[in-house]
Structure 1
Amino acid sequence: MSQPPVASVSFVDTSTTPPIRGGFYIWPNQTVRIGRDTDRDNNDVVFADSTVSRNHFELYSITVDEEGRHTSLVFVRDRQSSNGTLLNKKCVGKKPDITPGRLLQNGDVISIYPYITFKFVQLEERTSFLRLTARQREELKLLESRYLVEDRTLGNGAHAVVYLATDVLTGQQVACKVHNLDRRPRSHQILRRIKQEAMLLSYLDHPNILSIKAAFESEHSVYIFTELATGGDLFSLLSREGALPELEIRWIIRQTLNAVDYIHNKGLAHRDIKPENILCAIAPNVSYRLVLSDFGDSAVTNRGRLKSEVGTTFYRAPECYNSERGHSLSVDIWSIGMLCLQLFSGFQELPNLRHLDFTSQGRIDRYLNIILNDHGCDVAVQDGDEDYGNDDQPIDSQTSRLRPDENISSHAKDFVRGCLTYNSKHRLTARQALTHPWICEPEEDDSLFRRLERDNAASWEPRKIRLAPFIEKLDATTDAHNGDREQELGTVAEPMEEEEEEEDEDASAKISPHFQRNPTPFLSCHTLSSAHQQREEKDTDHPLSANGWSSPPLTIQTRRTSQRPQHQPDIHVAFVKLGT
């Protein structure tokens, strides 16, 4: 049974007499492009008026989960139009800027000045059981001069719920991650890890890392404000796109490596790299900026090897299963290798996972030989190695390949093997991985990647102020808006006190010397006090963009000539499903 539409859009074009009216539905995980170009690969709804750019704006929906706990998210994004895209009479994008999507609310009006308007209606309204509590709403009133948090969920995890918020100073939409301490066992260790994530993020400022804006805590909740990634996560992208071309996979891995190289230089290991933690900052399109998120399992390595068991099973390095052996920064490289395999497989599970056994280099090589269709694959299968895999079922070498009908380049295979090395000392480092031929060759591809990196850097705003790098307690005399208070350069953060017994050694928030040697912008984690009552001509998408739809689109065309028609034009009044 097909899913129902998530929204409807009706439009009026007043450039003709009488006006042309029409509309269309937006379906789950669909993108609808609006512009003047009649090429169906570029636009699905076409207007011939000269005020409309060839590729003007797009509407796209993102399904947050399949269980129906959250209303689908629908965004509008300008495509570097010449005339600009207006949302409720405010410009949300215009060339030359690469602007992120803007989350739409029921009743919003999009317009192309001066003739064409679109009205957005959210058809799918779900009452979430994850609404803010009465206490949280009262606490958030203390922040109204800085952030307005709406009772609209964007997603949730095991430990937190993410809500839509608006930065009052800039008007930008941001995400508010709320940890409800009353709904989880009271533990100094849990609270410490939450604070540590905010504290570590406050030291990071990079185009490929989710930017933190501010953090506040009360006795009952912790609120962390970050940039809103308007393209969903990589896991959702794989679910809508399937297996990606190798060029796009290389670009994803290169951006991820840029982030990992940056944090490794600061002595920080992420320890949970996976598609769900890589976000599309601009749109559900890998051509644009990707950001690494969720640093809840991160740790600094200035004390030596790490020992706690964290991360996601499929992406964990072998040494993570042995607490006595310990692990280091190289666990992130292993995760990137597993990420490569998943990207080649698309949304499908890796073939023959029952045979995945990474307890020795020999077993790793045999598994990779099969799924990568590498030399020696048939020998490994025909030999019937009884010590291979973890069951006795035979392996079909044809169905076990990642891409049976498509070759994977030799450079890609070599890169994956360099990441998935049992001995962590022999694994590629992030810096070595960035110079691997698969990432930076040939020169034509490297030039393309470097151009995209420049474009992405232009769409990213580094922090302009330096903020206090410690957990600050607010009292009745403290201004809750002191997130703008500057900190003198060179001031060293006071580390959080050590937990006794229950806290892992590597969970310390003590910052490595790399952070202090090369200080970057950082911010306060504030404490809320109840006593404190303050109230184009580059009008095209990126070259890595996917061309067309999986099925031929139905184009709505509203055309007018320079002279107004003397007869009644065809009026598209029915709502149609695009892409069928």
Structure 2
Amino acid sequence: MAIPGQEKPERYLILRDRLAGDQDQKLVPIWDDEVLNIGRHPQSNPRIGDGYNTLVSRKHCEVYVVVYDEFNSSVYVRDRNTRNGTFVNNVRIATGSGISPSHLLQDGDMIEIHPNWSMTFHDRKDFKSTSTTEIQDKECKLFQEKYTISQRCLGQGAEGAVYLASEVETRKQLVCKIVDLSKIKGKDAVDSIRRKLQEADVLRQLHHPNILRYVDAVVSPHSLHVNTARKSQVFNQLLTWLQIHIHRAGYRSEFEARVIIRQLVQALDFIHKKGVIHRDLKPENILLAYSPNVTCHRILLSDFGACAVPRRSRMLTHVGTTNYQAPEIQDKYEPHTASVDMWSLGIVTLTLITHGMDVSLKGLDRMAQPEIQQFLKDDALQPGYFSQHCEDFVIRCLQTRPSSRMTAAQARHHKWLCRPVKHLEHFRELERIARSNWTTSHKVRPMPLQLPDVTDEHFVPSEGRHLVGTRPKDTDENSQFFDRSARSDDAPLPPQNAADKSSWDPKCNSSVATIPPVQQSERKSERAVVDKRGLIIEQLRRANVKFLPEIPTRRATLSTVSTSDGRQKRQRRQ
């Protein structure tokens, strides 16, 4: 509680206890390095209720700060698995059993524990407020009955910004990345836009606890709105977390690096089995789902803008980030394979274990194999600092010949990540805790919704023009994603385009196009933008649309092997 006359902190709660009278208000300061444990436990701060009040749990909810860097931080609240629940602005933040997802607080939000306690959050710190463009405002109105975009800017780049958003039906928080496609210019503009759209197309088909979760996307001729990562995830970049951790603890251990790399390898193994190659693996694209008082944060792989699907095209384009690129990226004639990610994994591992040390990792992709071995032995992996298993793991990743690198599947079983057995058991328990809020789903997310051009002179805005969450009754109506009249169920498969074209390229007429655009300029002034994606997956399969391959389960794999062995034995007997 603040002392009367003392200057108010930048962030604080005003606690009101109706049992003590409406006039009883307490100021509870919020500091960056403290967690407010709210409940009826004697050591709670603040303590509410008494030992006999069952409406409040001993540890009911907690308020804490996530620091992104010295200039940016955010305040969150989460419920501690209580029966009565914790409410923010009359919405219960708990979604089921276990600790609730983290809810980002904004100035003026009211936290309530029914029926007697309320806490109003006040934030006097300036936060980034970046206004959307006039065109983006018009586009947001088209889907405002499904998603709302706030002015709270969570990050900004050259091509767009990331905003706090919410889903209208569930009132759950989302992160919405709005890319201004008009700002992407130059000779590679078309390819850059295609890759932005490709990221949404690939992410919607990937569901894994260590991959940034995709929710939905909306695309127009001017903007790309991608909703990801429900705010159950409080994200921080890997390097930022490292810097904060080293500043506070004064060190970082090889053991912590193993915890992170294990999860990263699991994500790579998953996407590689799906036929996807990331091609831009670096610390900036690795996020941590932060939770207070948790020793293991869930790792999330993000930014699939440079990814590729080998079965769709022959990958020869120059992508990736300097110092993390595999040597073969420089060779315009050698197709890329999943091994490019394994080279980058080796560099990321070195970055983790040598962070804060005077070691430069520049130019490794231009060294010959003997030079790399010598560098690792003399500079990066000095004897006595790291285990032999760690050295072997890095060396097996940093092989100049792609075929000599270990695969992600092999990396999962490497001794550095699996031995000794007591460490493996500990790793699995940490991962179980980190994934406690993640739910399994085998549902393919819907394709991005196509918006009309709001600048078109034929576009007539109206109150009836919005995003509807139901499918029209007229099932024979042409879909906005592919023209049924042009592609019947029995239509032959068109020849595949060998160029490096993604499923989003409007000029690509190959069979892998998941979203062939349908021009509706004549109808868009008369009809609303209707979300008819929910029941369309089977139609797409009949229309020869190619999805990422399913990963066979272990049982299915063993069954296939058993069937194959039996067939071979019968052939030998014959």
TM-score w.r.t. the length of structure 2 is 0.71
Contact 1:470 1:525 in 2 (8 A): no
Q: What residue in structure 2 maps to residue 378 of structure 1?
A: none
1:32 to 32, 35, 47: 35
Please name the residue that 2:545 is paired with: none
1:149-201 per-residue CA deviation (whole Å, 9 max, x = no partner) reads 11221112333311111111222111111111222327332221122111111
Retained in 2: the 8 A contact 1:233–1:276? yes
- Which range moves more in the overlay, 213-222 or 257-266? 213-222
Partner of 1:110: 111
Q: Please, what is the CA RMSD of the aligned residues? A: 4.2
Q: Which residue of 2 aligns with 1:368?
A: 376
Correspondence for 1:481: 468
Match of 2:388 among 403, 410, 415: 410
Q: Is the 8 A contact 1:270 1:295 kept in 2?
A: yes
Relative to structure 1, the CA distance from residue 195 to residue 105 in structure 2 (aligned partners, 3 Å threshold; closer, same or farther) is: same
Give the letter aligned to residue 243 of structure 2.
S
The one-letter code matched in structure 2 to 1:11 is: L
Are the equivalent residues in 2 in contact too, given 1:32–1:45 (CA < 8 A)?
no
In the TM superposition, residue 342 of structure 1 has moved relative to its aligned partner by 2.0
Please report how far the alpha carbon of residue 295 of structure 1 lies from its aligned counterpart in structure 2 after TM superposition. 0.5
Displacement after TM superposition at 1:464 (Å)? 7.0
Match for residue 133 of structure 1? 133
Q: Counterpart of 2:224? A: 222
More contact order relative to length (CA 8 Å, sep ≥ 6): 1
1:316–1:496 CA distance, 2 compared to 1 (3 A): farther
Stretches of structure 1 that go unaligned for 5 or more consecutive residues are 376-405, 512-521, 536-580
Question: Which residue in the other structure is 2:185 paired with?
Answer: 185
Do 1:230 and 1:282's aligned partners in 2 also have CA atoms closer than 8 Å? Answer: yes
Aligned partner of residue 158 in structure 2, secondary structure: coil
DSSP-derived class of the 1:262 partner: helix
- 1:509 maps to amino acid: S
| Residue 335 of structure 2 corresponds to residue 331 of structure 1 | no
1:65/1:307 Cα in 2 relative to 1: closer, same or farther (>3 Å)?
A: farther
CA offset at residue 99 of structure 1? 2.9
Question: Does residue 273 in structure 1 map to residue 251 in structure 2?
Answer: no
* Correspondence for 2:64 among 60, 65, 70: 60
Partner SS, residue 218 of structure 2? strand
Q: Distance in 1 between matches of 2:85 and 2:173?
A: 19
| Deviation (angstroms), 1:235 | 2.8
Of 204, 215, 230, the residue aligned with 1:213 is: 215
Q: 1:139 to 1:471 in 2, by over 3 A?
A: closer
**What are the residue-to-residue correspondences of 1:31-180 with 2, within 5 Å?**
31-35=34-38, 49-50=50-51, 53=57, 55-63=59-67, 72-81=73-82, 84-93=85-94, 96-113=97-114, 116-126=117-127, 128=129, 130-180=130-180
Equivalent position of 2:28 in the other structure: 23
- Match 1:8 to one of 2, 9, 12: 12
SS at match of 2:284: helix
- Number of aligned residues: 477
Residues 63 and 184 of structure 1: CA distance in aligned 2, closer, same or farther (over 3 Å): farther
Q: Hey, what does 1:402 align to over in structure 2?
A: none
The answer on 1:359 being equivalent to 2:359 is no
2:540 alignment counterpart: none
Unaligned 5+ runs, structure 2: 1-7, 454-458, 480-488, 506-513, 531-574
Tell me if 1:196 matches 2:198.
yes
* 1:430 and 2:408 are equivalent in the alignment: yes
Deviation at 1:60, TM superposition (A): 3.2
**1:456, 1:414 → 2: CA distance?**
27
Tell me the equivalent position of 2:423: 445
Query: Using a 3 Å threshold, how does the CA distance of structure 1 residues 21 and 526 change in structure 2: closer, same or farther?
Result: farther
Residues 544-565 of structure 1, C-alpha deviation per residue, up to 9 Å, x if partnerless?
xxxxxxxxxxxxxxxxxxxxxx
For 1:110, give the aligned amino acid.
I
Aligned partners of 1:215 and 1:525 also within 8 Å: no
Residue 64 of structure 1 and its aligned partner are, at CA, apart by 5.1
Contact kept, 8 Å, 2:37 with 2:60, in 1: the verdict is: yes
Asked whether the equivalents of residues 28 and 46 of structure 2 are also in contact (C-alpha less than 8 Å), the reply is no
Whether contact under 8 Å (2:197, 2:504) holds in the other structure is: no
Where do residues 293-332 of structure 1 align in structure 2 (5 Å cutoff)? 293-302=302-311, 306-332=315-341
The residue number in structure 1 matching 2:539 is none
| Deviation at residue 114 of structure 1 after TM alignment | 5.1
Once the two structures are superposed, residues 190-240 of structure 1 have per-residue CA deviations (whole angstroms, 9 ceiling, x without a partner) of 221122111111221222211222221222211111123323232332232
**Could you tell me how far 1:263 is from its partner in structure 2?**
0.6
Q: CA deviation at 1:39?
A: 11
Q: Structure 2: how far apart are the matches of 1:148 and 1:423?
A: 49
Q: Distance in 1 between matches of 2:332 and 2:295?
A: 36
Report how far residue 72 of structure 1 moved.
3.8
